[in-house]
A and B are shown apart, each in its own frame.
Chain A
């Protein structure tokens, strides 16, 4: 009997406590859901951005992995949005925005005055800068910058001067056509102009078709790029600079160059109808501050989007100079044109899939 009384007493008190935390939480804000990618990328963002920004702003976050714009659009279309901030590639954000899946960024809340001009749009705010580069096996073709090492996309295509196998992008056209045109002799600043016609796209496709017998593998993830170079499965590959740096840390004989690379960025986007829109916008403003971005290079070799982060960072000089967004490296590269992708991505992807299925 005594025990029974005790246990009945306990129940309401638990309910009371639960009720209190619930109301208290509602008064402040419920945690916002921030979605990124798994592996070293998400871990780097947690360490550099999310944990500290959450602590300093008092905004509680729930972290999820498996960010994808197609899942975001599915949530929006089915009217069951649970995500507040989603990490995405710039091209993915542009497509999702065109489909009406994204909320407009409120730039009266998010301060981008110190951002590079082309690293934010109406629908997404740049989180880090990466480059699509050509990498190669340094045992086979020499260290980057050494005499005889590959320097340009023309070298990537030159299987006589650099005999061996290649890897190229599978099932996704992002960053796949531009190198082909540069290898075909189109100057970097005219690439998107040439690509804006169907003949231009076909010219790029034909150039890739020329190399296709030497493309041993088509990669479909960053992890695969690193693995292919680490295993020596191919001698040259396109891919994202941070992945090759990680592979090198793991002992892979891999080097790359920023010459003629494609300068691109990842960003934060907000699904249309995000459950905690206002709070999430404030959190976005917080993580975009330079003091957090300044810590990012310690965890992954992707550069800040906020110029001020370069002034604040305590990272060593060599590390800073190896980042794709470093002022010394930016002029070597071709910035990816989101306008071009918004207009031509669907068509280009059809043509590219056509080539891959041959």
Chain B
């Protein structure tokens, strides 16, 4: 009995050496990918930082950042961007969690069929789906026509070219990004855990919140983060369904580039959005164990 820990102790050195060797091997295997990442992500982002500090006269300047404080439109577009991202994520959670739960409960073959329903729109062009929503939701669109015919409402309801339309479209497009990681986390939860809980006297609701939900949380956090971060930089859907009333950071970057050719100002917006995103990821990592969520570590 007392010898076992000593045996383990003895193995520590060779085991550690092996681990280090393995890590180097993995790193060298990953090096081409890392090089690509440096080339296509780090260098352009550094360039972006540099551009944001170059003024109209080509000298170092903080004018782009000063402008972002001076004009309220910049802070407003940031607020709109975060509002759209947060609301979209919440809607996705509200719809996606029950959906993933339902899928995880189904037998494999049926689950595959329903999963197809989630994935099929995912494989359809983003533009097509966005314009499809426009056709459905507009003033003389299918939904308004139908609702007025059956007497749900008398005059057309404004469903698109505003925040409502943007959120409907965004939630539809983002849903698979939440459902997929959530579903895979739920599939890993042993059914027996729930049985054990009820065996010990927990009601189904109590067992769900005490056992199932915490175990599915890693998938939920991963999915929500992916959705949230994707929303931050989203362009097409808010531009089309927002009708110019939902001005996101991406919209403003386009406006600045297309109409002012001002790379510095556009870069400054990009830099602030990037930093805000990193800050949120950092805060999230303090709240949740992101390592566990994103890299599957314990």
- State the A residues within 8 Å of B (CB): 68-70, 73-74, 95-96, 99, 101, 165, 170-174, 216-220, 231-233, 345-346, 349-350, 353-354, 356-358
Interface segment, one of B7-15, B70-78, B115-123: B70-78
Judging by beta carbons under 8 Å apart, are A357 and B247 in contact? yes
Out of B71, B140, B245, name the residue touching A350 (CB < 8 Å). Answer: B71
CA distance A73 to B80 in the complex (A): 30
A218 to B73, CA, bound (A): 16
CA A95 to CA B139, docked complex, whole Å: 37
Identify which of A68, A220, A354, A358 gathers the most chain B CB atoms within 10 Å of its CB.
A220
Q: Are A171 and B140 in contact (CB under 8 A)?
A: no
Q: Which residues of chain A are near B76, meaning CB under 8 Å?
A: 357-358
Q: Nearest chain-B residue to A232 (Cβ)?
A: B140
Residue of A nearest to B77 (CB): A357
Residues of B close to A220: CB separation below 8 A: 239, 244
A217 x B77 contact (CB < 8 A): no
Residues of B within 8 A of A (CB): 67, 71-73, 76-77, 80, 138-140, 158, 161, 239, 243-245, 247, 251-252, 254-255, 257-263
CB pair B244 A217 closer than 8 Å = yes
Q: Nearest residue in A to B251 (C-beta to C-beta)?
A: A171
Known pairs A69-B261, A349-B259, A357-B252. 13 more at Cβ < 8 A? A70-B257, A73-B261, A171-B244, A171-B247, A217-B161, A217-B245, A218-B243, A218-B244, A219-B244, A232-B139, A353-B247, A353-B255, A357-B72
Give Cα A174 to B158, complex, Å.
28
Report the minimum CB–CB distance from A350 to chain B (whole Å): 6
Give the shortest distance, in Å, between B155 (CB) and chain A (any CB): 12
Give the residue name and chain of the B residue nearest to A356 (CB): B247
Q: Which residues of A contact B72 (CB under 8 A)?
A: 354, 357
CA gap between A220 and B254 in the complex, in Å: 11
Alpha-carbon gap, A216 to B139, bound state (A): 10
Contact B244 A356 (CB under 8 A): yes
Bound-state Cα–Cα, A70 to B72, Å: 25
- The listed residue (A69, A172, A231, A358) touching B138 by CB distance below 8 A is A231
Q: Which residues of B contact A232 (CB under 8 A)?
A: 139-140
Q: Which residue of A lies closest to B76 (CB)?
A: A357
- Do A353 and B73 touch (CB < 8 A)? yes
* Residue of A68, A233, A346, A356 touching B258 (CB-CB under 8 A): A68
Asked whether A171 and B243 contact (CB < 8 A) given A217-B161, A349-B260, the answer is no
Bound CA–CA A358/B259 (angstroms): 20
A70 to B263, CA, bound (A): 9
A356 and B73 contacting across the interface, CB-CB below 8 Å = yes
Q: Which of B77, B251, B254: most chain A CB closer than 10 A?
A: B251
* A171 and B161 contact, CB distance less than 8 A: no
| Cβ A233 vs Cβ B138 within 8 A | yes
Which residues does chain A contribute within 8 Å of B262, judged by CB atoms? 346
Residues of A within 8 A of B71 (CB): 350, 353-354
Decide if B261 touches A99 in the complex (CB within 8 Å): yes
Report yes or no: B261 in contact with A233, Cβ–Cβ below 8 A.
no
**B252 contact set on A, CB distance < 8 A:** 171, 353, 357
**How far is the CB of A251 from the nearest CB of chain B, in Å?**
14
Offer 16 A-B interface pairs, CB within 8 angstroms, sorted by A.
Answer: A73-B261, A95-B259, A170-B244, A171-B252, A171-B254, A171-B259, A172-B255, A172-B258, A216-B243, A217-B161, A350-B67, A353-B247, A353-B252, A354-B72, A357-B72, A357-B80
**In the assembly, what is the distance between CA of A70 and CA of B71, in Å?**
23
Q: From B74, which residue of chain A is reached at the shortest CB distance?
A: A357
Query: When chains A and B are docked, how far (Å) is the Cα of A356 from the Cα of B77?
Result: 10
Which chain B positions have C-beta within 8 A of A74?
Answer: 263
What is the CB-to-nearest-CB distance from A93 to chain B, in angstroms, rounded to a whole number? 12
Q: How far is A325 from B57 in the complex, measured between Cα atoms in Å? A: 39
